[in-house]
Amino acid sequence: MAFKVPRGTQDILPDQTPKWQKVESILRDLSRVYRYKEIRTPIFEQTELFQRGVGDTTDIVQKEMYTFDDRGGRSLTLRPEGTASAVRSYVEHKMFGYPDQPVKLSYIGPMFRYERQQAGRYRQFVQYGVEAIGSADPAIDAEVIALAMDIYQTVGLKDLKLVINSLGDKETRDAHRTALINHFEPSINEFCSDCQNRLEKNPLRILDCKKDHEHPLMKSAPALTDYLTESSAQYFDQVKKYLDVLGIQYEVDPNLVRGLDYYNHTAFEIMSTSQGFGAITTLCGGGRYNGLVEGIGGPDVPGIGFAMSIERLLLALEAEGVELEVEDRLDIYVVAMGDEAKLKSAELISSFRTKGIAADMDYIDRKMKAQMKSADRLGAKFVIVIGDSELEESAVNVKEMESGNQEKVPFHNLVNYILDHK
């Protein structure tokens, strides 16, 4: 029987991992610069956390979660997103009591959603995200957006578009909800069953429907921004002022609602405008979620965050033809001729590695010519050949592969020589 990876998953092979490592390094560096400290939460949580946190009416909860009962009969779910878990940890560990607020968290790891596999979209995918919990200041909204934009610009992307909207406060949402019901109800039978179910439960979700997004009523639906309360409008204006001060260009899209129930006030998406990227252009999404902390058992504490798929980031790099500078160097390759030479090679390689010198040798007893080809193929900067004469002299010729220059170096000075010249 031939085994294959499960549908919707992928193997990231050794020739691909340097790109992933480079992106992850950039993410961690910028997290440090912006002071978002890493949190690591379990891959599975109680199912109710996502039902309450993400929202019963979302596609994620209704269709996409990997849920199972453990041996104790408890319902558990592989995490479909990171915010609910981060907020759960914030509440459980009473981070709201920390003297420095907001608490700024970052995370990176696998998430799981049962959905149709598409380019850059998998059932197991890697997500980076941040959460700033404990501040209702518009400035932190702008900071979170700035961090997301900084990430994409740092990796080298240029074809980007930032879209923002305000989802308002509860009064705004209630007024808009009534307007949406009145707008869609007369023709709701023309919509999919999901939209029909959402009409009374959460009509805002209709605007996020993938099946009916071309329906004429979608384009003429009441804009949420028309129902903003004075305080919500002022808040949104302040967010835009901070983005202006930071020099971040944006577009306001009244139909941007995001796919999760916990969002309010600021919502945003960053999209790729590259020609070769594909139909689904969203790279990153986020927004403010005042009320979520209280909804899962904590105090009434505001928060804002975003999440991005690493797979889609790499896809955007490919679409723009951006090559990441990755480090995959081999400093020295040791060619051994004979058993005694092989023992000496192992000893030397160990001494190289203890000093941070990347070193390798042959382990399948190939001829000298094959070993030299291997050194060239692996991109070794230096090569040394150890045979009987080198063992007798306790010295080797160190060959620099690019120039072809050689220099005789005693065994005892090899480490220092490579360190001086690598």
Instruction: In whole angstroms, give the CA distance from residue 422 to residue 417.
Output: 8
Spatial contact of 276 and 243, defined as CB atoms under 8 Å apart: no
In the structure encoding, which two tokens stand for residue 329, read together?
């160097």
SS3 80: coil
* Residues in CB range of 47: below 8 A, 6 or more apart: 65, 67, 75, 76, 77
Give the strand pairing for 75-78 and 160-166. Answer: unpaired
263 annotated among ligand-binding-site residues? yes
Alpha helix segments (H runs only) across 222-279 = 230-245
38 annotated among ligand-binding-site residues? no
Amino acid at 342: K
Distances (CA, A) of 161 to 151, 157, 242, 250, 282: 14, 11, 17, 7, 9
Instruction: In whole angstroms, give the CA distance from residue 178 to residue 200.
Output: 9
Q: What is the DSSP letter of 64?
A: I
77 annotated among ligand-binding-site residues? no
Q: For residue 81, how many other CB atoms are within 10 A of its CB?
A: 20
83 annotated among ligand-binding-site residues? yes
Spatial contact of 285 and 269, defined as CB atoms under 8 Å apart: yes
In the structure encoding, which two tokens stand for residue 162, read together?
């930032």
131 annotated among ligand-binding-site residues? yes
Rg (C-alpha) for the chain, rounded Å, is: 28
Q: For residue 268, how many other CB atoms are within 10 A of its CB?
A: 27
Q: For residue 381, how many other CB atoms are within 10 A of its CB?
A: 19
Q: Nearest-5° angle of CA 266, CA 269, CA 274?
A: 155
SS3 300: coil
Spatial contact of 361 and 345, defined as CB atoms under 8 Å apart: yes
SS3 204: helix
The number of helices, as runs of H, and strands, as runs of E, in the chain is 15, 16
Spatial contact of 262 and 271, defined as CB atoms under 8 Å apart: no
Residues tagged in the binding site annotation: 81-83, 113, 127, 131, 258, 262-263
Residues tagged in the binding site annotation for L-histidine: 81-83, 113, 127, 131, 258, 262-263
